[in-house]
Amino acid sequence: MDWEEGSVPWGDGRDDLSRRDVLKRSFGAVAFVCSFDLATQARPAKRTAAAIRAQAGSPFQPFRAELQVPPTLLPERRTRSLERYVLDMREGTAEVLHGMQTPVLGYDGLFPGPTIRARRGVKTEIRQVNAAGRALNVHLHGGVTRPDSDGHPHDFIPPGDSRTYHYDNVQHAATLWYHDHAHGETSQTLFAGLAGFYLLSDDLESGLELPQDEYDVPLMIQDRSFNADGSFRYVLDLDRGFRGDTLLVNGQVAPRMRVEQRLYRLRFLNASNARAYKLRLGNGRPMLQIGSDGGLLPKPIARTEIPMEPAERVDVLVDFSDFGRGSKLVLQNVGGEASTTAVMRFDVVRGGAEEARVPKRLQPAAKLPPVNAERTFPLTFHGLGSARWEISERVFGMDRVDVRPRRGTTELWTFVNNSTRMHPMHLHGYHFRVVSTNGRFPHPADRGWKDTVAVHPNQSVTVRPYFDYFGGRYVFHCHAAEHGDMSMMGQMEVVA
């Protein structure tokens, strides 16, 4: 379902309502607008989810489920310069809670979707078949992608149709992910399960002898709530964004993972609608961060706490040979509420032959062309009449271009957060360096290539995007899915 600027269904022009009232009213309206609502498919049940949670040995008990790693998708055809894949976007079920089936919307019906492994210099083609009964499109998040394959909100795949996305894989190795970008409905489709990893490698990365195969583990962190029959329960909160009471890693409730006494590469992705995390190993032992959104950092950085806003990726190395056999290390979410403090657990099971090592240097920082323009984007909540989130006092306009950067240049973009919520601001098609946060240097781990940056209340964050590679129309937006949907998104056209 599409809605356009000005046609937001609950905007009645009245301006004498408190924000609280407006938000309350918008709940009902949104439930009506979003035709796809897994909660409504739930059978009425006698026991509440809270009652199930309280039970000992309940499916919500952390560290009960074994970590699952999403399957790697096999190409349908492969040549030296091209790999061809097919994916079906459709309904399926997943055993998220032990012994229960949760209806999901997934790539090949899976939650999370299968992992695509791509290599720099080898193109990828993915035919996406829309068997989901609703308009969808696919965005490769963090991908340097031509505009017509980027999943722009004006491109969608009608139900029953398919579309082939072309990825040139011109950029450096990075942890990317693909997800739905249906206009105004991403909070629903992402929540329903449409997300998967896209791991891009290159020669530089391979030369570093980092942990590989089963020692290179993608970990998708999300929060969900449930109905008593095991179905996902979505409650709209346009202000904060969705907050679930249960943490999932790769679709399992706070799972445990058996690890050998050796070095691992863990690739964290925050694929939650709106929840931020602060990751900490139980014993406060530092993790070595080697990569962020756009790929490898210049050198590893030891961190005891790693904040992750929606859509951000963090690659770390953890050496489990530092721990005795039988050690159990909890990965915590510092500052989470009671049921969202435990993310997962690592159970050290036996010695592993050590082949991987920690490189001293990773990837040199690229030189940037000079700054060609400076822009400021105030971020605000508009609570009167019709509740909405705005960039530069505008909601998204499909046919309006907000900025026209020149291809081959860099610019300075300053996001000024004048609201009470955090906004993970994201650019399609390009990467940026974080220049400063409230005038100060960013954390060293945030000085590599990024595509999403946290802008906290009262913060002003300056980033320096580099408009390299392709030109054309792309969007930039807040990645708190509810904010992006309503309608914290702008459009840029990168011109020659």
Q: Give the residue with the Cβ less far from ligand C2O, 181 or 421.
A: 181
Q: What number of other Cβ atoms are within 10 A of residue 235's Cβ? A: 11
HSE at residue 356, side-chain half, CA atoms within 13 A, is 24
User: Is residue 181 involved in binding ligand C2O (CB under 6 A)?
Assistant: yes
Q: Using CA atoms, how far apart are residues 333 and 336, in angstroms rounded to an integer? A: 6
Rounded Cα–Cα distance for residues 35 and 238 (Å): 17
State phi, psi for 67 to the nearest 5 degrees: -60, 135
CA torsion, ordered 475, 477, 479, 483, to nearest 10 deg? -130
Instruction: Judge whether 87 and 127 are in contact, CB under 8 Å.
Output: yes
- Does 134 engage in binding with Cu ion (CB under 5 A)? no
Contact set for Cu ion, span 286-325 (CB under 5 A): none
Q: What is the rounded distance in angstroms from the CA atom of residue 158 to the CA atom of residue 155?
A: 10
Can you tell me the distance from the alpha carbon of 206 to that of 222, in angstroms, rounded to the nearest whole number? 29
Residue 483 near which of Cu ion, ligand C2O, none (CB within 5-8 Å, type-dependent) = Cu ion
Among positions 120, 134, 141, 233, the unique one binding ligand C2O when judged by CB under 6 A = 141
Should residue 182 be labelled a site residue for ligand C2O when binding is judged by CB under 6 A?
no
**CB under 5 to 8 A by kind: which of Cu ion, ligand C2O, none does 388 bind?**
none
Q: Which stretch binds Cu ion (CB under 5 A): 39-47, 99-107, 321-329, 475-483?
A: 475-483
Got the DSSP string for 186-199? HHHHHHHT-EEEEE
**DSSP letter, residue 72:** B
Q: Does 478 bind Cu ion (CB under 5 A)?
A: yes
Alpha helix segments (H runs only) across 338-385: none
Using the rule CB under 5 A, is 483 a contact of Cu ion? yes
- Contact mark string toward Cu ion, 386..425, x via CB under 5 A: -------------------------------------x--
Candidate list 141, 179, 233, 267; residue touching Cu ion; CB under 5 A:
141
Quick check: 480 and 448 in contact, CB under 8 A?
no
Smallest distance, Å, CB 478 to Cu ion? 3
Q: Is 450 in the site for ligand C2O (CB under 6 A)?
A: no
139 binds ligand C2O (CB under 6 A): yes
Q: Does 269 bind Cu ion (CB under 5 A)?
A: no
Number of residues that bind ligand C2O (CB under 6 A): 9
Alpha carbon dihedral 249, 478, 427, 344, in 10-degree steps, equals -10
- From the number of C-beta atoms within 10 Å of its C-beta (0-12, 13-18, 19+), residue 184 rates as buried
One-letter identity of residue 252: Q
> Which of 138, 254, 480, 489 is close enough to bind Cu ion by CB under 5 A?
480
Q: Answer with the entry of Cu ion, ligand C2O, none that 477 interacts with (C-beta below 5 to 8 A by kind).
A: ligand C2O
* Interaction between residue 426 and ligand C2O (CB under 6 A): yes
Report yes or no: 402 and 492 within 8 Å, Cβ to Cβ.
yes
Contact with ligand C2O (CB under 6 A): which of 172, 275, 421, 428? 428
Decide if residue 183 touches ligand C2O (CB under 6 A). Answer: no
If the CB atoms of residues 139 and 224 are measured against ligand C2O, the closer one turns out to be: 139
On whether the CB atoms of residues 222 and 254 are closer than 8 A, the answer is: no
Under the binding rule (CB under 6 A), the answer on residue 391 touching ligand C2O is: no
Pairing of strands 277-281, 306-308: antiparallel
Which does residue 431 touch among ligand C2O, Cu ion, none (CB within 5 to 8 A, set by kind)?
A: none
In the complex, minimum distance from the CB of residue 62 to Cu ion, in angstroms, rounded to a whole number? 29
Nearest partner of 450 among 417, 471, 478, 426, judged by Cα: 426
- Minimum distance, C-beta of residue 489 to ligand C2O, in the bound complex (Å): 8
Closest distance to Cu ion from the beta carbon of 486 (Å): 10
The phi-psi region of residue 160 (left if phi > 0; otherwise alpha if psi is between -120 and 50; otherwise beta) is: left
Nearest CB to ligand C2O, comparing residues 233 and 426: 426
Residue ranges binding ligand C2O (CB under 6 A)? 139, 141, 179, 181, 311, 426, 428, 477, 479
Residue ranges binding Cu ion (CB under 5 A)? 141, 423, 428, 478, 480, 483
